Structure 1
């Protein structure tokens, strides 16, 4: 079920009503109905995936459906460092019999946003958002090659009878021969040998968390950039459980020996510098387990860097 933008979330400290250099996001954000999109080639769109049914089906801890609102509430009070237009299109909730039906609806929304905005940010919610994102990216780019980059501790390439938060990338690979998958931050103890085997079978490229936890080797950076250059469109997604739980406790599956926020931000900013990265999803923000809004604030900072810096 579609939810219109919630203006009450967008509040913050008011430093000035006239000095643009002192504005915060809540002072510049625009609100629009997803069913009434107007062409806008500049600026960015925000759309929430207020769904954690996939997490439940994947036997994870629920609560991530509250993630989009928690992220927007924190992001609202951060400085608006540039004149980049920001449009909040609200959220989608799960009200269908099957998760795949909600994913298809979300995919249609994503397609509309991609066709009318320079860049689209999708806020989750479970990591089943990635398959919904893919449906929109493929619909908007029917004949182009898609490179999927996932910063994640997990492959999420499990084989199940229905969509879950752990199946998105297998679904993409099984139905799209013009798509390649690259995942950064994989933890060996968090993935069974069968998942590694499937990654090898599908030529999935991956970088282990151990390889970048202290230092990102230039070879890794070159590998990422070659992957981006080799594809027409990049679908980029970040699962917050890749970050160590000391920094990001508010996730569906907390990480031990995870990456630092600065490592993830450095990787993400390198990826975001390319114009063919048209959509970005941030998944698994779970306010139920957050501490002092630590995870929501981290995502708010990520968004600010992606949009302004």
Structure 2
């Protein structure tokens, strides 16, 4: 069910009402309505996936449905870094009889936003947002090859009877023969051998978390750039559980020996340099387990750099 943006979420410290160089995002945000057909191509869009049904079905810690609004609250108070127009379109919540129906609805809205905007940022919610994002990207790009880049500790290529937060990438791979999958940050201890076997079977490219400690090796940079070059469109998604729980405790499945925010941000900035990346989703932010808004603030600061990149 679509809900228009909640304006009361956008508050922060007021340093000036006239000097734009002292503004924060709550002073510059624009509110949109998906029912209105307007041309705002030079702007970027925000849409929330306020859903954790997929997390529950995957037997994870629920609470991610409140993630989009927690991210907005933290992002609102961050100083603006440019005159980039950002339009908040609100949230989609799960009210359908199945998760798949909600994903279909969200995908339709994603298609709309991709057609209207320079770039679309999707705020989760469980990582089932990635499959919903795919439905929108595919509908907006019929016939084109899609490269899916996921920064994640998990493959999320489980086999299940229906959609969950752990099945998105298997669903994509099994439905689309013009799609390839690259995942960065895989933890050996967080994926069973059967998930590695399926990754090998589907020619999934991956980089282990152990290979991303300290710095990004030039060979990994080349892998990412070659992957982007080989596809028409890039679907980009980040699961916050890839980041070590010392930095990001507010997630559905906290990471042990995870990546640092610096590495993740560096990878994301490199990926977003390509115009082929039309959408980015950030998943699994769970305010129920956050400490001092640490995870929400981390995402807010990442967004500030990534939106204005």
TM range (shorter): over 0.9
1:121 partner SS: strand
- What root-mean-square deviation, in Å, do the aligned CA atoms of Structure 1 and Structure 2 show? 0.6
| CA–CA distance in structure 2, aligned partners of residues 306 and 181 of structure 1 | 22
Q: Which residue of 1 aligns with 2:15?
A: 15
Does residue 1:138 correspond to 2:138, yes or no? yes
| CA–CA distance in structure 2, aligned partners of residues 32 and 116 of structure 1 | 12
| CA–CA distance in structure 2, aligned partners of residues 17 and 307 of structure 1 | 23
| CA–CA distance in structure 1, aligned partners of residues 259 and 307 of structure 2 | 22
2:35 partner SS: helix
Q: Which residue of 2 aligns with 1:278?
A: 278
Question: 1:231-270 alignment to 2 at 5 Å?
Answer: 231-270=231-270
2:278 partner SS: strand
Post-superposition offset of 1:215: 2.1
Question: 1:145-156 alignment to 2 at 5 Å?
Answer: 145-156=145-156
Q: Which residue of 1 aligns with 2:82?
A: 82
Q: Which residue of 2 aligns with 1:34?
A: 34
The question of whether the paired residues in 2 share the 8 Å contact of 1:120 and 1:278 is answered with yes
Question: 1:112-123 alignment to 2 at 5 Å?
Answer: 112-123=112-123
Does residue 1:101 correspond to 2:101, yes or no? yes
Post-superposition offset of 1:37: 3.5
Post-superposition offset of 1:143: 1.1
| CA–CA distance in structure 2, aligned partners of residues 235 and 30 of structure 1 | 25
Deviations 1:255-302 (A, max 9, x none): 000000001001000001111100000000000000000000000011
Deviations 1:167-192 (A, max 9, x none): 00000000000000000000001000
The question of whether the paired residues in 2 share the 8 Å contact of 1:131 and 1:172 is answered with yes
Deviations 1:184-225 (A, max 9, x none): 000001000000000001000000000112221000001100
Q: Which residue of 2 aligns with 1:129?
A: 129
| CA–CA distance in structure 2, aligned partners of residues 177 and 37 of structure 1 | 32
Does residue 1:59 correspond to 2:59, yes or no? yes
Aligned residues: 309
Q: Which residue of 1 aligns with 2:287?
A: 287
1:54 partner SS: helix
Post-superposition offset of 1:7: 0.3
| CA–CA distance in structure 2, aligned partners of residues 56 and 173 of structure 1 | 23
The question of whether the paired residues in 2 share the 8 Å contact of 1:37 and 1:112 is answered with no
1:100 partner SS: helix
Post-superposition offset of 1:41: 1.2
The question of whether the paired residues in 2 share the 8 Å contact of 1:159 and 1:167 is answered with yes
Q: Which residue of 1 aligns with 2:212?
A: 212
| CA–CA distance in structure 2, aligned partners of residues 119 and 103 of structure 1 | 20
| CA–CA distance in structure 2, aligned partners of residues 204 and 2 of structure 1 | 34
Q: Note the residue ranges of structure 1 that are not aligned, 5 or more in a row.
A: none
| CA–CA distance in structure 2, aligned partners of residues 35 and 76 of structure 1 | 24
Deviations 1:32-88 (A, max 9, x none): 111214111111000000000000000001000000000001101111111100000
| CA–CA distance in structure 1, aligned partners of residues 131 and 213 of structure 2 | 27
Q: Note the residue ranges of structure 2 that are not aligned, 5 or more in a row.
A: none
Question: 1:189-200 alignment to 2 at 5 Å?
Answer: 189-200=189-200
| CA–CA distance in structure 1, aligned partners of residues 209 and 41 of structure 2 | 37
| CA–CA distance in structure 2, aligned partners of residues 230 and 169 of structure 1 | 19
| CA–CA distance in structure 2, aligned partners of residues 174 and 136 of structure 1 | 17
